[in-house]
Chain A
């Protein structure tokens, strides 16, 4: 084993031997403060910004995507048809 690995091991053993720090009682008023802070939050967690922002944003994005597809559907189909229609001309022109 590497010398430094052994040094670390010795240090860890010594650290484990240290008397455990005393666990304090709950600081006065902390429990009540935490409970009150939790009580102020909405039960559904709706006060968290992501919760009330995410859903409308997601729905808006979905509506925009659907709108974009609907608007571009016809031009895309027409372009594809025009391209197919010009295939015969291309067949003549390309070998030249």
Chain B
């Protein structure tokens, strides 16, 4: 006979009673969800395991504040986004991306994009890595809004729900973040045209 299905509600109740084994089971159950968020909003300069650990500790510490109004996974996602943002803020300085920082595949993908073409299917991984590096030049809030809207294709309403920002703030941040990205790309193009 297989293992019984994981009962999240029961696990939450046990963690509330300071059951360490239940806490361990909860980490195992939520790890895929948390690590996906960490990867989406993490700087390459941060260790994903450390950020994930911080998220789980925050979830446990704030568990009494969970009132069950939204799905537990959604509540955890919000905590994960906030902790990831704080981790990004802690980095203070943001690197300035230069051609020399790109590997060959990334430089080709960028060259193709700046020339007006689209990176080929084979270049998609390089494009993703390049986008990661570009996002690392933005401040945490700008990076978050761009990741959610342009990469995860989430609507303004969804971004509002995840971040807790107002609709106007989401739109303004997205506008400013795209303007900054535009400037970075323009800088690359000037360099390309030299």
Contact = CB atoms under 8 A, between A and B. Distances in A.
Given A30-B49, A39-B23, A7 B114 contact: yes
Given A2-B182, A39-B18, A41-B61, A11 B131 contact: yes
A9 B117 CA distance: 11
A19 B151 contact: no
Contact of B119 (A11, A25, A30, A33): A11
B119 A14 contact: yes
Interface of A: 2-5, 7-19, 21, 23-27, 30-39, 41, 43, 45
A31 B24 contact: yes
DSSP class of B's interface residues: helix, strand, loop or mixed?
A: helix
Given A18-B125, A26-B31, A11 B109 contact: yes
Interface of B: 18, 20-21, 23-25, 27-28, 31-32, 35-36, 39, 49, 52-53, 56-57, 60-61, 109-110, 113-114, 116-119, 121, 123-125, 127-128, 130-131, 134, 150-151, 153, 178, 181-182, 185-186, 189
Contacts of A33: 53
Contacts of B151: 12, 15-16
A32 B114 CA distance: 48
Question: Which interface residue of B32, B109, B119 has the most chain A CB atoms within 10 A?
Answer: B119
A22 B92 CA distance: 29
Nearest to A31: B27
Contacts of B32: 23
Query: Top 9 closest A-B pairs, CB basis?
Result: A14-B127, A31-B27, A35-B23, A18-B128, A14-B119, A35-B24, A4-B182, A18-B124, A15-B128
A36 B23 CA distance: 9
Contacts of B117: 10
Contacts of A32: 24
Question: Which interface residue of B23, B39, B61 has the most chain A CB atoms within 10 A?
Answer: B23
